[in-house]
Structure 1
Amino acid sequence: MKLFRFDESVGRKIDKFGSKNIIITPIIKILERHIDIIQVSSMHMNPEGLIWGHEAPVPQLFIVVAGEGFISGRDKVRVPIQAGQVAFWESGEWHEVVTDKGMNAIVIESDQLMPEELLLKEVIQ
């Protein structure tokens, strides 16, 4: 057995797009012919954390495992999100994430994501 860490002490800061108080720790990346097939990361958003609005380069799942905050999509309307909920953004979709108190999430990025096939539908937007 091997044991690994993915907490914020082993991650790196993200300030791209004007983001703040964000630490990301890549967990796994699967490549095929040097092209990303899927990437899974842990995201630690400290209080007053912000992932500044930008377009998703590929479809993304944002799986909240602790804390709470707000997400927005192309309409730029902030919607609350908390532990146990998942946001999904299509490739090219503008999105933003913000938290006042802090939030931790697992982020999965892949052009092969189809969350509707397995997740119970609780459409937030």
Structure 2
Amino acid sequence: MQLLNFTKDKAKPVLNYNSIFTTYNKIIKTETPTNFGFIYVEANGLVGRHEAPVPQLFIVIEGEGWVQGKSDEKVKLQMGEAVLWEKGESHVCGSQKGFTAIVIQSVELQI
């Protein structure tokens, strides 16, 4: 499990296109088919333990929750924070308050 951070303070300024007060965080670059989706976990919700069928990038965009990889240690995540699970990696996630996350799945993730 690789923890990542996409919060605003990690973004780089956009200097092209006469942009003003704009920053950007690249998430991934792929050359193979990629699935992008939202997942909504309600208060006291849980996504049960399973193995990632392909590498999965999980980015919290609202609310807060937790993830677990192979260990029993719960790692808290909030808006802008992310986790990358490798293919076959067992994981589980949940939340007491609820969260929304973007899930990106592809056989090739270049972060």
Tell me how far apart the structure 2 counterparts of residues 74 and 68 of structure 1 sit (CA, whole Å): 21
Tell me how far apart the structure 1 counterparts of residues 74 and 81 of structure 2 sit (CA, whole Å): 15
Give 4+ residue runs of structure 1 displaced > 6 Å after superposition: none
Instruction: Give the number of the structure with larger relative contact order, counting CA–CA contacts within 8 Å between residues 6 or more apart.
Output: 2
Q: Which has the higher helix share?
A: 1
Q: TM-score, normalised by structure 2?
A: 0.69
- Aligned-residue identity in percent: 41
Aligned-residue Cα RMSD (Å) equals 1.2
Q: TM-score, normalised by structure 1?
A: 0.61
Paired residues in the alignment total 80
Q: What residue identity is the alignment partner of 2:98?
A: G
Aligned to 2:54: 58
The unaligned stretches of length 5 or more in structure 2 are: 1-31
- Larger Rg computed on CA atoms: 2
Aligned counterpart in structure 2 of residue 94 of structure 1, from 90, 94, 107: 90
Alignment of 1:59-78 (within 5 A): 59-78=55-74
Aligned to 1:18: none
Report the alpha carbon displacement of residue 76 of structure 1 after superposing the two structures with TM: 2.9
SS of 1:47's partner is coil
